[in-house]
Amino acid sequence: MDWAYIESVLPLYGKAAWLTLRTGAAGILLATLVGLLCAAALYWKVPVLRRITAAYVELSRNTPLLVQLFFIYYGLPKIGVKTDPEACGIIGLAFLGGGYMTEAFRSGVEAVDRIQEESALSLGLTRFRTFLHVILPQAAAVSSPAFMANVIFLMKETSVFSAVSLMDLMFTAKDQIGLYYRTTESLFLLVSAYLLILLPFSLLGTFWERRLRHAGFGT
C-alpha cells in the first residue's frame, strides 16, 4: 500500500464523500417528506390521490434506482425536463425513497387506533392538527425501525450516482483505477470512506431500536 499516494488523493476522496453525504441527506429528507404526505393521503383516504399514491408506491418499490436515474437523466430531457447530475441524484433518491418511507409511515399510522383520531377530533382539533399532534407521534414509535432501515438503505443506494456522472466515491475510485491502476489503494479508500459514512448510521439505528424496544411513554 502506497501511503504517500493515499495522502495525496485524500482531499479528492474527501470531496467525493462530502458529495455522497450531501446528496444522500437531501434525497433522504425529500423522501421523508414525500413519505409523510403519501401516508397522510392514504390515512385520510383522499379520493383519487390515494390511488395515485398507491400506484406511485408500487412503481418506486418495484424498479431499480439505476433505471429510475437513467430515465430522469437521459430520458426526461428529451421531453424538455433537464436536470443537472446532482439534482438528478437527489430527485431519483427521493422518488425511490418516497415509496419506502410511505410504507414505513403507513404501517405506523395504521397501528394507531382510529378512535384516537375521533377523540382528538371531538376536542375540536382540525384533521391536520390531529394527524400532526396525535397520530404521527404515536406512529413514530412503530415506524422508526423501518425508517432507520430506510435511511441506511438509501444512503447505500447513493453508490449508483456515478452512473449519471456525479463525481462521488464510486466515480473517484473507478477513475483512479482506470487512470493510474491504483487498485489496492482505491478499493481501500472506497471501503473506508463508506464505512466512515455508514457505520454511524448503522450504530445509531441499532441504538435507537434498542431504546425504542424498552421505551413506552411513561415507563
Partner 1 sequence: MAETVLSISHLTKRFGDQAILEDLSLEVREGEVVVIVGSSGCGKSTFLRCINALEDIQGGEIRLRGELIQSDRKNLPELRQKIGMVFQSYELFPHLTVLDNILLAPVRTQKRSRQDAREEALALLDRVGLKEKADSWPRQLSGGQKQRVAIVRALIMHPEILLFDEVTAALDPEMVREVLEVIVNLAEQGKTMIIVTHEMPFARAVADRIILLDDQRILEESDPETFFTDPKTDQAKKFLQTFEFSRKTKQRLKSPKGEFP
Partner 2 sequence: MPDLGLEVLWKGKNFVRLLGGLWVALRISLIAAGISIVLGILLGVAASRKRSVSSAILRIWLGVIHIMPQMVLLFLMYFGTTRAFGWNLSGEVAAVIVFSLWGSAEMADLVRGAVTSIPAAQRESAEALGLKPTQVYRWIILPQAVRRLIPQSINLITRMIKTTSLVTLIGVVEILKVAQQIIEANRKASPNAAFGVYLTIFVMYYLACRPLSLAAKKLEKRWG
The binding site for partner 1 (CB under 8 A) comprises 115-116, 118-126, 129, 133-134, 137-138, 141, 216-219
Q: How far is the CB of 214 from partner 2 (least distance, A)?
A: 19
Q: How far is the CB of 37 from partner 1 (least distance, A)?
A: 21
132 vs 177 by CB, closer to partner 2: 177
Q: How far is the CB of 186 from partner 2 (least distance, A)?
A: 8
Spatial distance between the Cα atoms of 153 and 158, rounded to a whole number of angstroms: 9
74 vs 207 by CB, closer to partner 2: 74
Which positions touch partner 2 (CB under 8 A)?
58-59, 61-68, 70-71, 74-79, 156-160, 162-163, 170, 173-174, 177, 183-184, 186-187, 190-191, 194-195, 198-199, 202
Report whether 27 contacts 94 (CB < 8 A): yes
29 vs 149 by CB, closer to partner 2: 149
User: From the list partner 1, partner 2, none, which binds 7 (C-beta under 5 to 8 Å, kind-based)?
Assistant: none
34 vs 142 by CB, closer to partner 1: 142
Q: How far is the CB of 108 from partner 1 (least distance, A)?
A: 12
CA distances from 70 to 19, 44, 77 (A): 19, 34, 11
Q: How far is the CB of 45 from partner 2 (least distance, A)?
A: 20
SS (H, E, C) 140-205: HHHHHHHHHHHHHHHHHHHHHHHHHCCCCHHHHHHHHHHHHCCHHHHHHHHHHHHHHHHHHHHHHH
Report whether 135 contacts 109 (CB < 8 A): yes
As to burial, measured by CB atoms within 10 angstroms (0-12 exposed, 13-18 middle, 19+ buried), residue 98 is buried
